[in-house]
Amino acid sequence: MTEAIDLLLTPRWLIPIEPAGITLSNHAVAIQAGRIVAVIPAEEAAQRFTPRQHVALPDHVLLPGLVNAHTHAAMTLLRGYADDMALMDWLNQRIWPAEVRHVSPQFVRDGTLLACYEMLRGGVTCFSDMYFYPEAAAQAALAAGMRAALGIIVIEFPTDYASDADAYVSKGLATRDALRDQPLISFCMAPHAPYTVSDKSFERIVTLTEQLNLPIHLHVHETRAEIDESLAKFGVRPLERLRRLGLLGPNLIAVHAVHLDIREIEQLAEYGCTLAHCPTSNMKLASGIAPIAEAQRRGVRIALGSDGAASNNRLDILGEMRQAALLAKVASGDATVLGAHETLRMATLNGAAALAIDDRVGSIETGKEADLCAVDLSGLDIAPCYDPASHLVYAAGRENVSHVWVAGQPRIEGGAMLQISNNDLAYATNVWRNKLAS
């Protein structure tokens, strides 16, 4: 007698991520109640299971859903609003003034929904967000059926969202409590950066993360100016200040981390931190090239992020994979560093591990939730394909993503969005464009 299941996927190729470095051919993934119940040869699956739905993927590669380890999703409404500027000028002259005038719960909901649309179309099933009004971001993520790790943002200056650092924390924790039963939503502490957060606030964050076992999502060492300012004000570089305050550890997601010396790379490895690499944003803002080859060599866990669409201008993790791999090679002078399978791991399981959800997602393994994406490699514009892992990193793009599932539920089919109304989203986006342009 066969076993009834909800869904059976039979791709031409399957890259499970774990075990590392392998590509399986003619295998099937069986899914029941949102979880993977078997990863076995397709012939065996046909004899063992009776699926309610069978999705054949004859020219496709199936991989875990991609994880965007760093973004500011609502800032998708600021895509192209302030380009070709240095980071601090970009922030002080354009972005922060625009946020003062316009950021609200509705801005965050609409901007995050637009971001979810873009990310799901590109195979991203989970994103780590750092922005105001996380409850509005949660509404958008849930409307899209997407997994989100929302930041409890901490910053010292007042906004319409909160008056001071304590108020940011209190509001963020209240949102976390209100959403604790939502299986697709998790939380991180999200102090903005060493130059916008005080020692007192960092000390409170350390206490909270120890009590609540939350990741810490933090910009660090993004620019040389940030390091110079820390040396002048605190007498040490930012990472050393964080170390003395107790922030370095397996919970820390060090975003950007462009300007690291060898000792700092060793510290990230020693303390088990994650480096969230945002290659396109780093290039666009001329922040520099993070020492990814050296960090990988010394054992630092590296995840991939897009940053916000205001500084990228795409939330495209398939694109970030290509940029990351190529930059690592040219910066190190070694064409062998950061191979295709290593880069795929950065975009999937490493991001899930950074967010402390790798027991649930990030690889195609029995018992995990079925966050998956399929990429169609049949197109003549990317033919021929000898190695699907290589093709994903160096040839395919988000336009080749055909199917996406989150916890076993379809979100993209045949390249089309299932959860979000395109017309409603286009209308809201145009409304915000007109407000910001005026």
The string of pLDDT tens digits covering residues 21-32 is: 999 999 999 999
Q: For residue 38, what are the domain limits?
A: 3-64+370-407
Backbone φ and ψ for 144, nearest 5 degrees, come out as: -85, -10
Indicate if 235 and 311 belong to the same structural domain: yes
The answer as to whether 433 is a domain residue is no
Residue 91 has pLDDT above 90, yes or no: no
Q: Is residue 426 part of a domain?
A: no
CATH code of the domain containing 386? 2.30.40.10
Q: How much is the pLDDT for 90?
A: 86
Is 35 inside any structural domain? yes
Looking at the domain assignment, is residue 137 inside a domain?
Answer: yes
Q: Is the pLDDT of residue 1 over 90?
A: no
Q: For 144-192, what is each residue's pLDDT tens digit?
A: 999 999 999 999 999 999 999 999 999 999 999 999 999 999 999 999 9
Tell me, yes or no, whether 37 and 89 share the same domain. Answer: no
Check whether residue 298 and residue 208 sit in a common domain.
Answer: yes
Percent residues over pLDDT 90 in the chain:
96
Global confidence as pTM: 0.97
Does 9 share its domain with 91? no
Q: Which residues contact 378 (CB under 8 A, 6 or more apart)?
A: 59, 60
Alpha helices in 246-365 (DSSP H): 262-270, 279-284, 292-297, 317-332, 340-346, 349-354
Same domain, 60 and 77: no
Answer with the residue of higher pLDDT: 1 or 252: 252
Predicted confidence (pLDDT) at residue 438 exceeds the cutoff of 90? no
126-137 pLDDT per residue, tens: 999 999 999 999
Q: Is the pLDDT of residue 88 over 90?
A: no
pLDDT confidence tier of residue 86, bands split at 50, 70 and 90: confident
Judgement on whether residues 267 and 319 belong to the same structural domain of the protein: yes
Clarify whether residues 139 and 233 are in a common domain. Answer: yes
186, 173, 200, 176: which is closest to 147 by C-alpha?
186
Q: Say if residue 227 is in the same domain as residue 202.
A: yes
Q: What is the mean pLDDT of residues 78-106?
A: 91
Residue in this structure with the two tokens 């396109």, named with its chain if needed: 280
Same domain, yes or no: 135 and 19: no
**Mean pLDDT score of the chain:** 97
pLDDT, position 229 = 97
Query: What's the whole-number mean pLDDT along residues 308-332?
Result: 97
The mean pLDDT value for 401-427 works out to 95
CA–CA gap between residue 59 and residue 253 (Å, rounded): 36
pLDDT band at 199 (very low <50, low <70, confident <90, very high): very high
Angle at 261 between CA 314 and CA 355, to 5 degrees: 45
pLDDT tops 90 at residue 87: no
Q: Which residues are CB-contacts of 43 (< 8 A; sequence separation ≥ 6)?
A: 26
